[in-house]
Each structure stands twice: as structure tokens, then as C-alpha cells.
Structure 1
């Protein structure tokens, strides 16, 4: 009976239409939101990487200016001592190598020049002497991890600088020195008798101050579990996001190197540094964001659906069902001889009004017929 009632027959089509509309709208909005989530994530990564690239560029530019100034000071002070030449064999830091002589003064284990320059210009300074195809630090204030001077160590034979020195060319840029990035300047030292083959190297450099960069990277979180990381020229993780769900350095390194298929990963090189910026976020973060948005959209849709149905029910009850119920009662009582009813629905201008007026006329006709019948029976 309930399924065949008028209220159900009136409300079911409305309910079906509203539910279909809610489902379609939820799907469309979810697809739109998916594009927005991905676009927002990519825009965030782009803005943050651009900011980091800018910081790297400014840092390098400022520090290179200081490096050029320090190099001019080192060369000036060194040449003031006299001409350069290779000396005999000496031992520095436990290694045998050629000596570097300036104005007849041995520079092996002699730190007056390098310390004097850095006392004015700060940073670090080194004198290299050529030993075969290698260049060995004979005087330096670059420090090892244990705090001792790095004398006896050689210029990285696999690095980007040594080839330029062998060719007698200058080099300015970022170099990894004993595991730490420095903004550096290297210029070959020539003997008066040979202006083609370098007998040593002037070096000045500044340990990179990347605190501002570290702060930006530390607070960079992409979606819920994504990260931004900076790897140096030896692919060592230098900085990484520390606020998201993925903050473990080992896990970040693994993801950056393995490029798993369930992650969206992009890599940019940092010009002049040899560094690389890696940004990554899992696809599941996008799915979660879409699911959350879909639940919100679906919930709002169901609420709207309930409000529409409630309004529809109120309208059907007040405009259709209540008048029909009253007219049904009138008709039933009329059938048993009760005709003294007031039918207010006759004032309505719709189909129910027509029905009410018809019942009213029928009631009047029955009443007149019954009154005539009563008179004839007397």
C-alpha cells in the first residue's frame, strides 16, 4: 500500500532526479577538483623551486664578488714576495711533494701568506704546488673534520677544477672541498721561465652559508607527504623538507634515486652550483585530497537533496494531499447520508478546486433529493 500511495508516487521521481543530479555533480566536481589539486601542487613546487633558484643565484653572485676580491689580494701579496718557482722535495701532512717557492722563500708548511690574506678578506686560502700531474696543498687554512690544516691533500683529480689548472685557465665557481661546498676561485701560478705550464695554484674560497636556503627547504611541504630536497654535486642530500609525513633522509634519498611509479618527481639543476633540486609527492596524496573533496561535495549534495525533498513534501502535503484527504472524508460521509460539510477547497483555482466544486454540487443535489423524498413520504 505504501509504495502505491500518492505521496510515494509523487516523491519518488523527484528523489530519483535529485539523486542522479547529485551523483553526476559530485563526479564532475571531483574530476575538476582533481585537476585543481594537481595544478596547485605543481604551482607550489614551481614557486618554491623558483624562490630557491633565486636564493642560490644571489648567494653565488655575492660570494663570487668576495672571492674575486680575495683572489686579487692573495695574488698581490704573493707577488710582492717575489717570483714563483718550484723548490725541492718537502714533506707536508705526511706526504712528499714539490715545494712552492715565492721570492726564494719556501711556502711549504708556511702559513703566513694564507693566514694574512684571510685575516683581511676572511674565508679560506691555499697555495698548491705541482707534483707531476697533481696539485698538492703545501700551505692552507682549509680545515679537515678534526680541525687540522688540510696540508698534504691534493686537488680532486676527478673534479672540475684540475683540468682547467692543467690547461693554465682560471676557474670560479662552487666546489666540494673535503665534503663541504665552497664558492671558490682557482688561478694557476706560472714560473717566469714558463708561462704555459702551471707550477702551482692560487686558491681562495668561502664556505657556503646556506642557512636561508635551509630554512626555506625545511618548511617546504608538498601536499601531505611530499617534499623538496637539495642534493650536492656528489648526489649527497644537503637539505630536505622536515614538516611533512616524508621527512626521513634515507627515505627521501631512496625516492629521489629510485623514482617510484607511484610518486610524481621532478628534478632541476642549480646553475653554477652542481646541485639539484628534487620535488616529489605521492599520487596517493592527490587521491586523498580528491576523496576528501568528493565527500564534502557529496555531503553537501545530500543535504541539498534532503532540503529539496523536505520542501517538496511540504508543498505536496499542503497543496495536494491535505485537500484530497479532506475531500475523501467528505465523499465517504456523503455516501452514508451526511452532507452538512463546509468544503473550503472550492476556492482553489486548480484541479483540486474543480473536484471540490463537483463534490459540493453533488452534496447539494443529494441533500435536495433527500429533502424531496422526505416530503413525499409524509
Structure 2
């Protein structure tokens, strides 16, 4: 009976229309939000990577200026000692190698020059002597992990510097020295009789101070579970986000190397450093954000739907159902001979007003007929 009532028949079309509108609007806004969330994630990554690239560039530029100044000082002090030449075989750090001689003074295990330069310019300094196709540190204040001087170690034969030295060319840039990145300068040392084949190498360098970079990367986060990481030239993880849900170094390395299909992974080279920036976030973060937005939109839609239905119900009750209910009572009482009613709905200008006026006329006709019948029966 309830399903066939007038109120249900009037409200159901409105309810269906509002629900369809809410669903369509929710779907449309959810699709728009999906694009918006992805765009926000991409913009967030771009802002952070640009800031990091700028920090890397400024750090490298400032440190290269210091490196050039220190190199000029090392070369000046070295040349003041005298001409360079290769000496006999010596033992440095437990290894046999050629000696490097400046002005007749052996430089093997002689740290006066390198320590004097770094006392003024700070950083590190080294003298390499050529030994076949290798270049061996015969005097240095670069330290190994145990704190001892790294004499007897050789310039990385597979590194980016040694091809330049073998060609007699200078090199300035970021180099990994014994596992630590340095902003460095390398220039070949020539004898007076041969300006083509280097007999040794001047070196100065500064251990990179990446504390500011580390702090920026540590605080970086992409969506809820994304991260930003920095890998060095040997693919070693140097820095990574520590504020998001993904902060485990082993997991970050696996994602960066394997680029799983359920993650969005972007990689950028850091010019002049040999480093790479990796930004990544799981696709599930986007889906969660879309779901939250959809639920919020749907909830607002349902509230609006309830308000519209409440307003519609009030209008239907006051403008339709209540007048009809009163007219129904009048008609029922009229059918049992009660006709002394006041029908206010006759003032309405709509269809209900027409019905009220018809019932009023019927009531009047019945009352007149009954009065005549009563007179005749006397």
C-alpha cells in the first residue's frame, strides 16, 4: 500500500533523478581528481628535484672555485722547488713505485708540500708518480678509513680521471676517492724534456659537504609512500627520504633498480657529479587519494540529495498532500450526510483549487437537495 501511495509516486522520480545526478557528478569529479592528483605528484617531484639540482650545481660551482685556487697554489709551490723528474724505485705504503723528484728533492713519503698547501687552502692534496700506465700516490694527506695516509694507492685505473692523465690533459670535477665523493682538480706533471707524456699528477680536492643536500632529501616526501633518493656514480645509495612510509634503504634500492610496475619511477642525472636522482611513488597512493576524494564528493552529494528530498517532501506535503487529505475527509463526511464544512482550498488557483471548488459545489447541492427532501417529507 505504501509503495502505491501518492507521496511515494511523487518522490521516487525526484529521488531517482537526484541519485543519478550524484553518481554521474561523483564519477566525473573522481576522474578529474585522478588527473589532478597525478599532476600534483609530478609537480611536487619537479619542484624538489629542481631544488636539489640547483643545490648540487651551486655546491659544485663554489667548490670548483676553491679547487682551482688550491691547484694554483700547489703548482706554484711545487715549481718553486724546482723541475720535476722521475726518480728511482721507492717503497710507499708497502708498495714499490717510481719516485717523483722536484728540484732534486724526493717527494716519496715527503708530506711537506702537500701539508703546507692544505694548511693554507684546506682540503686535500696529493702528488702522483707515474709507474708504467698507472699513477701512484707517493705523497698525500688523503686518509684511508683507518686514518692512515693513502700513500701507495693508485689512481683508479677504471675511473674517469686516468684517461685524461694519460693524454696529458687536466681534469676538474667530482670524483669518488676511496668511497667518498670529492670535488677535485687533476693536472699532469711534465718533465723539462717531455711535454707530452705525464710523469706525475698534481691533485687537490675537497670532500663534498652535502649536509644541506642531505637535509633536503631526508625531509622530501612524494604523496604518502613515495621517496626521493640520490645514488652516486657507483650506484651506491647516498641519501634518501626519511619522512614517508617508504624509508627503508634496502627497499628504496630495490624499487630504484627494479622499477616495479605498481610504482611510478623517474630518474635524472645530476650534471657534473655522476650522481642520479630517483623519484618514485606507488600507484596505490594515487588510488587512495582518488578514493578519499570520491567518498568525500559522494558524501556531499548524499547530503545535498537528502536536503533536496526534504525540501521536496515539505513542498509536496504543504502544497499537495495536506490539501488532498483535507478534501478526502470532506468527501468522506459528505458521503454520510455531513456538509457543514469550510473548504479553504477553494482559494487555490491550481488543480487542487478546482477540485476543492467542485467539492464545495457538490456539498452545496447535496445540502440543498437534502433540505428540499426534508420539507417534502413533512
Shorter-chain TM-score: which interval?
over 0.9
Distance 2:344 2:213 in 1: 81
1:178 matched residue in structure 2:
178
| TM-score normalised by structure 1 residue count | 1.00
Secondary structure of residue in 2 paired with 1:126: strand
Gaps of 5+ in 2: none
Please tell me whether residue 331 in structure 1 is matched to residue 340 in structure 2: no
Secondary structure of residue in 2 paired with 1:169: coil
Distance 2:366 2:330 in 1: 13
Give the Å deviation of 1:214. Answer: 0.7
Q: Deviation per CA, 1:160-199, whole angstroms, max 9, x where unpaired?
A: 0000000000000000000000000000000001111000
Secondary structure of residue in 1 paired with 2:202: strand
Runs of at least 4 residues off by over 4 Å:
none
1:317 matched residue in structure 2:
317
Give the Å deviation of 1:375. Answer: 1.1
Secondary structure of residue in 2 paired with 1:336: coil
Distance 1:221 1:310 in 2: 45
Count of matched residue pairs: 378
1:44 matched residue in structure 2:
44
Distance 2:143 2:309 in 1: 78
Give the Å deviation of 1:321. Answer: 0.3
Superposition pairs of residues 283-362 of structure 1, within 5 angstroms: 283-362=283-362
Give the Å deviation of 1:377. Answer: 1.2
Distance 2:19 2:145 in 1: 69
Distance 1:140 1:344 in 2: 110
Secondary structure of residue in 1 paired with 2:206: strand
2:193 matched residue in structure 1:
193
Give the Å deviation of 1:148. Answer: 0.7
Distance 2:106 2:100 in 1: 6
Gaps of 5+ in 1: none
Give the Å deviation of 1:252. Answer: 0.2
Secondary structure of residue in 1 paired with 2:144: coil
1:10 matched residue in structure 2:
10
2:281 matched residue in structure 1:
281
1:74 matched residue in structure 2:
74
Q: Deviation per CA, 1:35-71, whole angstroms, max 9, x where unpaired?
A: 0000000000011101111110010000000000000
Give the Å deviation of 1:372. Answer: 1.0
Secondary structure of residue in 1 paired with 2:296: helix
RMSD over aligned CA atoms reads 0.5
1:87 matched residue in structure 2:
87
2:153 matched residue in structure 1:
153
